[in-house]
C-alpha cells in the first residue's frame, strides 16, 4: 500500500473540507465545503491583513488602540512588577508596542511573551523591540498554542494573557469557551488575568463595510487562501513546480452579516463549474483523509466557507466568564461603543 502518512494536519483538514460538505453552527441543515481559516495566514495573508487593519472601514483595530490608550493606567495597574505578559497571536505587534511602552515606563522585570504561528512578524520585530526597552524583555515564541503553551507553564510569576483583535470572533461560542478554559487550566493560577478584545454587534452596514472595503483588500486577503493552499501542497510535495488545487481566478469573495446570530461569514463563490483533480502524488493521502480521491466538482455559485467573525452582545462577556470559570473584572468600550476590551480574573 502507498504511504498515506505525513500530511500536515491543516492540509488534511483542507482536503476533507473541500471534498466533503459539512454542517456548521448557524447554517441550519445546509452543508458547506470549507477551508480552515488558519490557512489565511501565510506571509502574503499577513501582509494583506496588516493592510486591512489600516483601512478606514475596518474600525476594529483603531477602536482597540483607542481603548488601550484611554485605559492604559487601569491595564497597567493590574500588571505587577516581575510578572509575565503573554500575547496570543501578536500579529504585527502594532498594539504590543503601545502596551510595552507603558509597561517599560512604569514597571520593572516584565517578561513579554509574543506567541504567533507565523515566524515572519515575530522575528523581524524581536531584535528591534528588545533593544528599545529596559524594563521589559521580549520573548518571541513561534508555534501553535498547543506547541507553545507547555513552554510557558510552571513559572510562579503572575500572568496576564492578552487575546486581542477580536480573534475570539473566529471561534464558535463553544469552541471559544473551550479554548479559553484550556488556557485557564493550563496556564493560569488564581488571580492571573486574561484581557480579551471583542467586536460588538452594531449597525449591520458598519460591519458589512468593514468586510467589503472600497479598495478590495479584504477580497485579496480571502482569495489568498487558495494561493496558500496551492503552495502548501506544492511544498509538501517538495516540488519546484507550483501545484494548482484551486485557481483563485475562478472564485469571488462573498461576505454576509447574519444580524440574528451576530456574525459575519466569509465565503469564496465559484464563478463557474470548477473541478479539483488531486495530484497523483497525494492521491493516497487524499484517500486516507476522506475515503476517496475522486475529482471534486464545485458547481458555479457554490460557496466554500472560509471564516466567521462573531460580533458580541452586551451580555457575551458575562456568559464567557460563566463558561470558563473566570470572573469578569472590567469591560472597557470606545466612545462609539463599537468594540470592547474585557478583563477577566481567575
Closer residue to ligand AVJ in complex, CB, 37/230: 37
Q: What is the smallest separation between the CB atom of 338 and ligand AVJ, expressed in angstroms?
A: 12
CB 268 within 8 A of CB 254: yes
* Residues in region 281-340 near ligand AVJ by CB under 6 A: 309
Which part of the chain contacts ligand AVJ (CB under 6 A), choosing from 166-174, 223-231, 270-278, 322-330?
166-174
**Which residues does 75 contact at the CB level (< 8 Å), separation at least 6?**
68, 99, 102, 195, 343
Does residue 165 bind ligand AVJ (CB under 6 A)?
Answer: yes
Q: Which three cell numbers stand for residue 191?
A: 488571580
Give me the count of residues in the chain: 346
Q: Which three cell numbers stand for residue 300?
A: 458555479
Strands 251-258 and 263-270: antiparallel
Which part of the chain contacts ligand AVJ (CB under 6 A), choosing from 2-10, 162-170, 184-192, 293-301?
162-170
Closer residue to ligand AVJ in complex, CB, 183/223: 223
Interface residue with ligand AVJ, options 130, 167, 230, 250 (CB under 6 A): 167
Q: What is the smallest separation between the CB atom of 261 and ligand AVJ, expressed in angstroms?
A: 14
The residue at minimum Cβ distance from ligand AVJ is 309
Q: Could you give the CA distance from residue 148 to residue 11 in angstroms, rounded to a whole number?
A: 21
Q: What is the smallest separation between the CB atom of 206 and ligand AVJ, expressed in angstroms?
A: 13
188-218 burial, b if ≥16 CB within 10 A, otherwise e?
beeebbbbbbbbbbbeeeebebbbbbeeebb
Which part of the chain contacts ligand AVJ (CB under 6 A), choosing from 10-18, 159-167, 185-193, 284-292?
159-167
* Residues in region 205-224 near ligand AVJ by CB under 6 A: 211, 218, 221
CB 84 within 8 A of CB 111: yes
CB 92 within 8 A of CB 121: yes
Q: What is the smallest separation between the CB atom of 168 and ligand AVJ, expressed in angstroms?
A: 8
Interface residue with ligand AVJ, options 170, 248, 262, 317 (CB under 6 A): 170
307: which strand partners?
A: 266
Alpha helix segments (H runs only) across 116-187:
119-130, 145-148, 173-187
Longest dimension (CA), the chain: 63
Interface residue with ligand AVJ, options 36, 169, 248, 262 (CB under 6 A): 169
Closer residue to ligand AVJ in complex, CB, 83/309: 309
Closer residue to ligand AVJ in complex, CB, 112/253: 253
Q: Could you give the CA distance from residue 195 to residue 346 in angstroms, rounded to a whole number?
A: 11
CB 339 within 8 A of CB 197: yes
Helix axes 43-54, 59-70, angle to 10 degrees: 70
Q: For residue 268, which of 53, 38, 35, 46 has the smallest C-alpha distance?
A: 35
x/- map, 42-61, ligand AVJ, by CB under 6 A: ----------x-------x-
Closer residue to ligand AVJ in complex, CB, 135/167: 167
Closer residue to ligand AVJ in complex, CB, 138/221: 221
Binding site for ligand AVJ (CB under 6 A): 52, 60, 165-167, 169-170, 211, 218, 221, 309
Amino acid at each position: 500500500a502507498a504511504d498515506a502518512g505525513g500530511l500536515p494536519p491543516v492540509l488534511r483538514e483542507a482536503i476533507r473540507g473541500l471534498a466533503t460538505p459539512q454542517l456548521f453552527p448557524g447554517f441550519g441543515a445546509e452543508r458547506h465545503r470549507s477551508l480552515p481559516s488558519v490557512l489565511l495566514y501565510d506571509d502574503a495573508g499577513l501582509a494583506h491583513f496588516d493592510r486591512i487593519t489600516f483601512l478606514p472601514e475596518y474600525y476594529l483595530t483603531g477602536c482597540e488602540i483607542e481603548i488601550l490608550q484611554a485605559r492604559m493606567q487601569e491595564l497597567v495597574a493590574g500588571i505587577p512588577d516581575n510578572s509575565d505578559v503573554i500575547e496570543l497571536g501578536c500579529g504585527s505587534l502594532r498594539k504590543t508596542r503601545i502596551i510595552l511602552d507603558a509597561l517599560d515606563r512604569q514597571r520593572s522585570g516584565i517578561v513579554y511573551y509574543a506567541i504567533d504561528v507565523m515566524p515572519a512578524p515575530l522575528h523581524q520585530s524581536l531584535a528591534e523591540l528588545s533593544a528599545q526597552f529596559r524594563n521589559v524583555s521580549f520573548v518571541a515564541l513561534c508555534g501553535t498554542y498547543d506547541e507553545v503553551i507547555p513552554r510557558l507553564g510552571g513559572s510562579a510569576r503572575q500572568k496576564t494573557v492578552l487575546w486581542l483583535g477580536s480573534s475570539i470572533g473566529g471561534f464558535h461560542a463553544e469552541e471559544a469557551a473551550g479554548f479559553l478554559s484550556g488556557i485557564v487550566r493550563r496556564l493560569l493560577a488564581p488571580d492571573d488575568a486574561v484581557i480579551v478584545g471583542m467586536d460588538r454587534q452594531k449597525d449591520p452596514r458598519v460591519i458589512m463595510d468593514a468586510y467589503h472595503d472600497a479598495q478590495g483588500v479584504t477580497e485579496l486577503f480571502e482569495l489568498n487562501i487558495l494561493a496558500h493552499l496551492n503552495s502548501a501542497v506544492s511544498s509538501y510535495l517538495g516540488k519546484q513546480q507550483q501545484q494548482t488545487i484551486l485557481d483563485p481566478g475562478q472564485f469571488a469573495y462573498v461576505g454576509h452579516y447574519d444580524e440574528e446570530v451576530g456574525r459575519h461569514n466569509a465565503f469564496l463563490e465559484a464563478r463557474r463549474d470548477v473541478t479539483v483533480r488531486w495530484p497523483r502524488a497525494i492521491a493516497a493521502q487524499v484517500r486516507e483523509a476522506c475515503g476517496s480521491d475522486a475529482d471534486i466538482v464545485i458547481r458555479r455559485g457554490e460557496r466554500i466557507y472560509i471564516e466567521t467573525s462573531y460580533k458580541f452582545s452586551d451580555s457575551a462577556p458575562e456568559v464567557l466568564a460563566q463558561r470558563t470559570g473566570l470572573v469578569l473584572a472590567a469591560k472597557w468600550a470606545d466612545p462609539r461603543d463599537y468594540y470592547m476590551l474585557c478583563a477577566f480574573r481567575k
